[in-house]
Homo-oligomer: A and B are copies of this chain.
Amino acid sequence: MKQPKMTDVAKVAGVSPTTVSRVINRRGYLSEKTINKVEEAMRQLDYRPNIVARQLQSQRTMTIGILVPTVANPFFGELTFKLERYFFDAGFKVLIGNAENDIKKERLYLQQLLARQVDGLVIATHNHQQQIPEYQNTNMPVVSIDRYLHETIPNVSSDNYAGGRLATEELIRRGAKHIIHTDSIERFNKRDYLRQRAYQDVMKEHGLEPITYKIDFDSRPELMNQFFNRIFDEHPEVDGIFVSNDMDAIQLLQVARQRGMTVPSDLQVIGYDGVPTTTRIVPELSTVVQPLDEMAKTAVKLLQKEIKGEKVTGSYKLPVKLRVSSSLK
């Protein structure tokens, strides 16, 4: 069968080829009736405007690449969902890559996406940026989420320092005296660990001794169990824990329960993230809520500016809030 042409569509719809083109590109005034006639004719002939060819002309793909560790993690699932929503509203489609803590896979994605397949990138991966030279010398518009990539690349995050202060101050205010902080060791070069620094500052301001334990991000459940059991063995006096992410905090609640501890009377717990899905599954967890919706909106806006040719750099720290639930007294 011969591929139908725009003139065939025009004939069937009883309009001019210019009108067909205007319907396809949604250009100029068009009545609902004309749009329907042309779309019906397109459907009838199975005519598809060649968008790839048009993109080549405009040098735009109207597509954004998003790289995350994995959308299977509720935090990155929610982030990807929100980014896609706002990019869609802005007329962009979204290519998703799960870098899976695999530097080779991240580099392969970057090399291919940088080859003009996308107009811009949002990066939220956890691999070590020093081992990914593509970030050092790209002309591609890029925004990173909660990680520093390069001085030319703007970074959007929750206000990690304010969040760390909020959590620690709340535990103290509610009577906890022996507060421990657990943080993840990131595979990327995390220069600041601001949630931890805030915890340490608040503890010192109150004359309390800060104690931080660290474990690899997204460790296997058995390792997490050992990790929290070790903390309880080494610090039987602990009565408050600020955990740097909710997935870890949920496992901590399980370990505490297994050891016969009662939350919050024996132990008060605050996590970090506050993604709707995990909050729905574990509503008892108090947590510092990241403004994921605002973060996604901001990332989309910044990337659009870069795509238009504006120079954008710096850090965009968005305000957090505390969600108080029954894991606090």
Contacts and interface: CB of A to CB of B under 8 A. Distances in A.
Interface of A: 43, 46, 48-53, 55-56, 61, 63, 70-74, 77-78, 80-81, 84-85, 88, 93-98, 100, 105, 112, 114-117, 133-134, 137-139, 221, 247, 250-251, 254, 275-278, 280-283
A98 B48 CA distance: 23
Contacts of A283: 221, 254
B77 A71 contact: yes
A115 to B, nearest CB: 4
B114 A97 contact: no
A272 B215 CA distance: 32
B43 A133 contact: yes
Given A46-B139, A93-B97, 20 more contacts: A46-B137, A48-B114, A49-B115, A50-B116, A51-B116, A52-B55, A52-B116, A63-B95, A70-B81, A71-B77, A71-B80, A72-B77, A72-B277, A84-B96, A94-B95, A95-B95, A95-B96, A96-B96, A221-B280, A247-B281
Nearest to A91: B112
A90 to B, nearest CB: 13
**Copies of this chain, whole number:** 2
A52 B95 contact: no
A116 B48 contact: yes
A50 B283 CA distance: 49
A282 to B, nearest CB: 6
B93 A94 contact: no
A122 B254 CA distance: 37
A116 B47 CA distance: 10
A280 to B, nearest CB: 6
Contact of A81 (B52, B72, B78): B72
B51 A112 contact: yes
A96 to B, nearest CB: 4
A292 B70 CA distance: 15
Contacts of A275: 72
Contacts of A251: 280
A98 B93 CA distance: 11
Given A48-B114, A50-B115, A276-B72, A84 B97 contact: yes
A102 to B, nearest CB: 10
9 contacts: A43-B133, A43-B134, A43-B137, A46-B137, A72-B80, A93-B95, A93-B112, A96-B96, A250-B281
